[in-house]
Structure 1
């Protein structure tokens, strides 16, 4: 009998959600339930179910699953258990998910334990390590859910350093963006701020269609905290559906990043009519005509299930619609259609806008919360599994990931098909080549009065080559075309530094008053403490009073 196998029910192609069954020893485990129809799960119920986060494509079928199997234990992080009920408004039996702590292994059945790590995708998003212990060996499966290594406005990135060399037998990882390479999150935010500022000039209007949770709250926090918007006369109106998500975030404030908690100590996180920009709820009793006549620049963050007539988009004011991903809008729109907006179920949101908005006023922007190709491969190389199963992405994108030579040479790669079981045999001693040494590290550049500062992640220190770079702490930057290349200078290179033109051959270490026993003793010099050659030089040379006589006596 194969101790490990995977049965994909849905792998996240197009409008599908994610739902996977894992057989680990005698236990059947369900990872996420993004199915609109759970018929496929009724034949063989799982022993346990796990929900990675509260987005529709990962939890759409959970309530139906709970109603069909009310005794089935369903687990998630504490924040996710608080956010999930928002997806089923008006339902009384939505408090069924059990919470698990971060990072602490919890035994949920004899020999079977689970451990959670933050996945960085949105507040509460979790990655799961499932471990089954037998007298012969330990079996392990790591499920990433939707993950993101960079920090967002309301969530810290996935703690990659904590997962290094975890070596699970199986890694199930999302590949939403394939091998695409994206700008850093901070660059994406700055581009969006620039485009939004232009759209709001002279009292313009901007509309952001957003899901219940995640993007809308991130946009609000961006406008509340970015220096370009601080103190600006801008009104931000929030759809009641998304406002419920904001209120749920406020109830989880202690689980948000420290920077967010500090911000909330000085001013409201979301709702504020005193500090500019003003953030308000778009209540049903507010007249669309009143909103259209506002003289100030206005931003609407709305759910696609809310008809544009609710906020007066048909007015003659200049409107700009900001769309991150057209394919996502249909999925967002159906989130609440069955319970609250049945008549609006098939409404084509963008087509309706085209009737009242110039097509040139539709702005496409990027504000990612999934790993790009570099982040995905970095996660895989740090975990070092035997098997890698790619899910949650367009088939073309997943194929591009599975075609990477450095992945094919190190791991068993799988592209699952719904309803087709995958056996995952394990080698008793699985040999892997060393992870590639070309790992890329993303950082941030800031400019202040002291100059340009480069910040790189602490993970860089775990590379054995770090010791060589930090030996002197001195780097050299040079342009190669449009690329800025930064490299470290070791002691030998510093000792070989020579002036471009030796206008004065006596301005060398041999004539410097700080030379003691062939070593530099000037604390202001980059050569301090090093053994120097007689023709060495630096920018803080000080002539020795007896330099000339020293030279003549030596000769």
Structure 2
């Protein structure tokens, strides 16, 4: 086994490690140096790939010091497979697209460097990532099933993974970046679930220090924030957009809600906004408490205008900077080396009552490091400008990295024969190495190659060795296989009905995410690769689920069985069909279908609104009527046709009371009613009446209309009066406003047609409310 360090050794940045084992070559990460020193490349030493090009690429997590060079590496190696967790893939897309934007802006400056890659290379790289789930071993090389990798949750940021390699030459455990401390967004790594390994590579960012209590640091941070706000100041928290910013937002919201921080607005700017969206979209990887908040509270986790947490759009930024009212701003980047933070910092640094509040690692070459070491009155540089430092500068430790004691505990659990320390400056790594006097410890530099022959192999457990390994589960054109299934078996996607049954059985009254539905359907065999299959099935979910939003995710709440019976036929609608829809204020309308249903919606024109895309569930009844010839008309003309038709239908004499009596307590469907009515206008008129007034005489259960009991209807004096007039029938003598008249036999909802018997209007017909008619 050989390990070559292309970057990230005795430094923080450009993490990139080449693993050669059993005659095969794998690459772990490919980061950038975000704060490269003058004359230093931002890239790992990629020339070292020429001797032995890697055959697969595995990504630990999304931070730019681990992914920033990957689009370039992927373009140099266009055919190798690439693996990451689902959340890492989504976050990497946000970071790399922002990286391209920044490089293009820098290129325009006189001293700017040529961009390392472009948007097309990022697109190509992202399209090749194969998503794998946590704790699901896979073979990164299809023709080498003896080399397997497993992603293990690292507790660092959303989606971050440790890598456990099982190979013919022994086992290797690569921690990437790790945290044992539970954060507000994600849980720390589970030290009791770590495997033993022959060789271990671990980060040592904080190898020479111990973290103070997380709770105490939060309390100190909140106290400082409140002191600044109390004196009328503003606070800027420059924060790493991935992980740290989300932690700070939740901390400030919590202390503000408890009354320990004044109720001033919180503003989110820069890449922080888009990363917050990803965190909500990938809520299944968040802390269980946050998942419950999203499900039960139904409120966004981060930006929430109702709670005075606002996302700042770029054109609003300068106005916000100029307003000096107390506020809190959380913006990228965490070291003030780019993003939106420098614009705020230039104004805040000059005001005595304001505060710059740092919470994370500061590279020695970064503006943030310079600020932390500056004194009041010093002239400091932020971006391209200089300003006199007058504001308060504070720092609190909310690190997402393990400290020296925690790293020691992880190493003790893994029990490696060889330990390799990376991702830290020389001082931190040397201090950390002193804790492992009984281990063979190496501290490599960039370019170092270590040849390792493990002295004692840790054999894989029988449970691990028996697990199915899938190297090409996500290859184009293949059907993903389920762990533990027969590799030759075609595992088709579930049906919508099957997903509904799972949700209806386990949680009929709550919304579900697509990930939850997949987990319940596949059980322990679920992995992120199956999420696209689930979401493809859910494209027409409107028939079985009520759709909602949970942050950035679509949610699916199972409908009642009766509602499914009603909605299922709607997926077969074709353009030109006439349907009855339930409009605003329960006013039913006639509508013409303009397009076949897709993704649970279809295009309609109704008699009361213009063309619009509406969900299937607004359609209530299908009268079996069509007007395909109207499809050649403009939407406005179709609306006019429907309005004219509606006026014509309003003149139909349709009386639900007669239908209620005729049913004799037996349920019926609208479809059955339509088979008894040949006239299209009459079908539509019955349907409109059922939607407008049907629930006063019938209980609707799915497609069935069940007449209310006679005793219940008789309790309404108006209904009793109306029924008595119907039973009296045509020709019955009545009095209307003390004038003699007779019934013509025509009636509708609470109206009758009468014929006057005397006076100047004798023989004329007139509509009269049933309440105004009395028997003679």
Task: Settle same-fold status: TM greater than 0.5.
Answer: yes
Which residue number in structure 1 is paired with residue 453 of structure 2?
425
Write the deviation string for residues 270-311 of structure 1: whole angstroms up to 9, x where unpaired.
111212xx2111212216345533534333424332366754
- Mapped partners of 1:63, 1:357: distance in 2: 39
Contact 1:10/1:16 (8 A) holds in 2? yes
- Mapped partners of 2:383, 2:9: distance in 1: 23
- Mapped partners of 2:396, 2:408: distance in 1: 24
Which residue number in structure 1 is paired with residue 305 of structure 2?
273
SS in 2 for 1:299: strand
Contact 1:235/1:298 (8 A) holds in 2? yes
Is 1:45–2:53 an aligned residue pair? yes
- Specify every segment of 5 or more residues in structure 2 that has no aligned partner in the other structure, as ranges: 33-41, 101-118, 369-379, 459-776
Which residue number in structure 1 is paired with residue 430 of structure 2?
399
Which residue number in structure 1 is paired with residue 222 of structure 2?
193
Contact 1:77/1:102 (8 A) holds in 2? yes
Structure ranking higher on relative contact order (CA contacts 8 Å, 6+ apart): 1
- Mapped partners of 2:138, 2:179: distance in 1: 24
- Taking the TM superposition and a 5 Å limit, the aligned residue runs for 1:243-392 are 243-265=273-295, 266=297, 267-275=299-307, 278-286=308-316, 288-293=318-323, 295-303=325-333, 304=336, 305-306=338-339, 310-311=343-344, 313-314=346-347, 318-325=353-360, 327-328=362-363, 348-349=381-382, 352=385, 355-358=387-390, 361-392=392-423
Write the deviation string for residues 379-400 of structure 1: whole angstroms up to 9, x where unpaired.
0001111111000111111111
Q: Which has the larger radius of gyration?
A: 2
- Specify every segment of 5 or more residues in structure 1 that has no aligned partner in the other structure, as ranges: 334-346, 431-555
- Mapped partners of 1:379, 1:297: distance in 2: 40
Distance verdict in 2 for CA 1:375–1:309, change over 3 Å: closer
- Taking the TM superposition and a 5 Å limit, the aligned residue runs for 1:384-533 are 384-404=415-435, 407-409=436-438, 411-428=439-456
Which residue number in structure 2 is paired with residue 221 of structure 1?
250
- Taking the TM superposition and a 5 Å limit, the aligned residue runs for 1:18-29 are 18-29=15-26
Write the deviation string for residues 427-467 of structure 1: whole angstroms up to 9, x where unpaired.
2589xxxxxxxxxxxxxxxxxxxxxxxxxxxxxxxxxxxxx
- Mapped partners of 1:45, 1:93: distance in 2: 19
- Mapped partners of 1:332, 1:361: distance in 2: 15
- Mapped partners of 2:242, 2:367: distance in 1: 10
Contact 2:13/2:65 (8 A) holds in 1? yes
Which residue number in structure 2 is paired with residue 531 of structure 1?
none
- Mapped partners of 2:219, 2:131: distance in 1: 36
- Mapped partners of 1:180, 1:307: distance in 2: 31
Write the deviation string for residues 97-128 of structure 1: whole angstroms up to 9, x where unpaired.
22111112223332111111100011111001
Which residue number in structure 1 is paired with residue 8 of structure 2?
11
Distance verdict in 2 for CA 1:296–1:426, change over 3 Å: closer
Contact 1:206/1:322 (8 A) holds in 2? yes
Which residue number in structure 1 is paired with residue 159 of structure 2?
124
- Mapped partners of 1:223, 1:329: distance in 2: 28
Displacement of 1:224 after TM fit?
Answer: 2.1
Instruction: Note the aligned Cα RMSD (angstroms).
Output: 2.7
Q: Which moved more, 1:121-130 or 1:285-294?
A: 285-294
Which residue number in structure 2 is paired with residue 34 of structure 1?
31
SS in 2 for 1:114: strand
Which residue number in structure 2 is paired with residue 55 of structure 1?
63
Which residue number in structure 1 is paired with residue 136 of structure 2?
104
- Mapped partners of 1:331, 1:110: distance in 2: 45
Contact 2:57/2:80 (8 A) holds in 1? yes
SS in 2 for 1:234: coil
- Mapped partners of 1:198, 1:294: distance in 2: 16
Is 1:70–2:78 an aligned residue pair? yes
Contact 1:88/1:94 (8 A) holds in 2? no
SS in 2 for 1:198: helix
SS in 2 for 1:427: coil
Write the deviation string for residues 326-346 of structure 1: whole angstroms up to 9, x where unpaired.
63496799xxxxxxxxxxxxx
Distance verdict in 2 for CA 1:47–1:122, change over 3 Å: same
Distance verdict in 2 for CA 1:206–1:231, change over 3 Å: closer
Contact 1:178/1:372 (8 A) holds in 2? yes
Displacement of 1:130 after TM fit?
Answer: 0.7
Write the deviation string for residues 179-222 of structure 1: whole angstroms up to 9, x where unpaired.
41211222222221222222222331111112231211211121
Displacement of 1:39 after TM fit?
Answer: 3.5
Number of aligned residue pairs: give it: 401
Which residue number in structure 2 is paired with residue 203 of structure 1?
232
Is 1:174–2:182 an aligned residue pair? no
- Mapped partners of 1:429, 1:100: distance in 2: 26
Distance verdict in 2 for CA 1:393–1:145, change over 3 Å: same
Contact 1:319/1:357 (8 A) holds in 2? no
- Mapped partners of 1:287, 1:403: distance in 2: 48
SS in 2 for 1:426: coil
TM-score, with normalisation over the residues of structure 1?
A: 0.67
Contact 2:199/2:419 (8 A) holds in 1? yes
SS in 2 for 1:238: strand
- Mapped partners of 1:290, 1:368: distance in 2: 29
- Mapped partners of 1:286, 1:317: distance in 2: 24
SS in 1 for 2:124: coil
Write the deviation string for residues 45-72 of structure 1: whole angstroms up to 9, x where unpaired.
1122111111111111111011111111
- Mapped partners of 1:311, 1:296: distance in 2: 13
- Mapped partners of 2:203, 2:340: distance in 1: 33
SS in 2 for 1:130: strand
- Mapped partners of 1:429, 1:302: distance in 2: 45
Contact 1:32/1:49 (8 A) holds in 2? yes
SS in 1 for 2:265: strand
Contact 1:233/1:297 (8 A) holds in 2? no
Displacement of 1:177 after TM fit?
Answer: 1.0
Distance verdict in 2 for CA 1:222–1:211, change over 3 Å: same
Which residue number in structure 2 is paired with residue 494 of structure 1?
none
- Mapped partners of 1:187, 1:251: distance in 2: 30
SS in 1 for 2:316: coil
Contact 2:25/2:52 (8 A) holds in 1? no
Is 1:235–2:265 an aligned residue pair? yes
- Mapped partners of 1:180, 1:390: distance in 2: 15
Contact 1:11/1:416 (8 A) holds in 2? no
- Mapped partners of 2:262, 2:326: distance in 1: 10
Distance verdict in 2 for CA 1:100–1:230, change over 3 Å: farther
Displacement of 1:228 after TM fit?
Answer: 4.4
- Mapped partners of 2:331, 2:146: distance in 1: 47
Distance verdict in 2 for CA 1:235–1:112, change over 3 Å: same
SS in 1 for 2:271: helix
Q: Which moved more, 1:265-274 or 1:46-55?
A: 265-274
Displacement of 1:245 after TM fit?
Answer: 1.0
Distance verdict in 2 for CA 1:332–1:221, change over 3 Å: farther
